[in-house]
């Protein structure tokens, strides 16, 4: 795993002027994350409330706003992006909540270059991410973009090749219990990675774990297939826990040792 203690992690985005926004800032301070947030007071910080019974989520209530950020907020974010130092890797996680406008994404590409960028996107905003280094999607999102339902490896192969060509990017397709299919656009090679989940209690945050670990490994110099394999193991760790959880380096190494030995 990459040596990371001396790295600077910067989180950029928008929060509301509410208690939840203060909690997000406090969590970043506690974790040593450099938070560059713009506060938009009339916009609530996204809050997801889950109702769980016997380890199964039965209901989720979201309190959020998905309209585009104001021009004032956008200008503040653009100033922050211009002032950021060089980055080893940039992860753009787009949940179509209105913060990642076309102007913001274009500025990130202009500032850091698409080949240093990994995008987690939604089909409605896919056009903004053409030319990124790597794009991460799940089965539903990829099917919406390609009209291919990739339940089998053969279909997944066809899907990632088509999507990689269309988006001019490498593709990491997460396939739930079927693992991942990875397309390396540079080498034009494909790898199917089997799921590494020993137990599945809660899939909340699995996709975010994949893109975070993928970015960390790539920034540390790992090849795409190695990075995807480690990210797959990290996802296997977090889905074995209840609620939104993380995978520590110790847990991740243990999970790799247990699974790779099988």
CA distance 207 to 232: 10
237 is written with which tokens? Answer: 């760790």
Is 208 known to be catalytic? yes
Count of C-beta atoms within a 10 Å radius of residue 205? 18
What distance separates the 2 farthest-apart alpha carbons in the chain? 55
CA distance 132 to 55: 37
Given a contact cutoff of 8 angstroms between Cβ atoms, the answer to whether 134 and 214 are in contact is yes
CA distance 47 to 80: 25
Catalytic member of 94, 184, 202, 208: 208
Catalytic residues: 208
């Amino acid at each position: 795993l990459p040596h990371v203690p001396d790295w600077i992690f910067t989180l950029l985005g928008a929060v509301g002027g509410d208690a939840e926004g203060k909690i997000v800032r406090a969590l970043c301070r506690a974790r040593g994350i450099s938070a560059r947030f713009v506060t938009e007071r009339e916009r609530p910080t996204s809050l997801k409330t889950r109702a769980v019974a016997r380890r199964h989520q039965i209901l989720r209530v979201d309190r959020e706003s998905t309209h585009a950020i104001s021009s004032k907020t956008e200008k503040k974010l653009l100033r922050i992006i211009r002032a950021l130092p060089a980055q080893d890797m940039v992860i753009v996680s787009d949940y179509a909540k209105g913060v990642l406008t076309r102007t913001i994404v274009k500025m990130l590409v202009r500032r850091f270059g698409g080949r240093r960028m990994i995008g987690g996107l939604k089909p409605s905003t896919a056009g903004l991410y053409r030319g990124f280094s790597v794009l991460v999607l799940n089965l539903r999102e990829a099917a919406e973009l390609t009209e291919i339902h990739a339940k089998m490896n053969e279909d997944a192969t066809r899907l990632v090749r088509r999507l990689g060509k269309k988006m001019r990017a490498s593709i990491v397709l997460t396939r739930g219990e079927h693992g991942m299919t990875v397309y390396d656009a540079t080498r034009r090679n494909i790898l199917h990675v089997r799921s590494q989940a020993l137990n599945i209690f809660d899939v909340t945050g699995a996709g975010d774990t994949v893109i975070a670990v993928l970015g960390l490994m790539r920034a540390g110099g790992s090849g795409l297939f190695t990075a995807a394999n480690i990210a797959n193991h990290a996802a296997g760790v977090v889905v074995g826990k209840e609620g939104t959880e993380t995978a520590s380096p110790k847990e991740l190494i243990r999970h790799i040792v247990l699974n790779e030995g099988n």
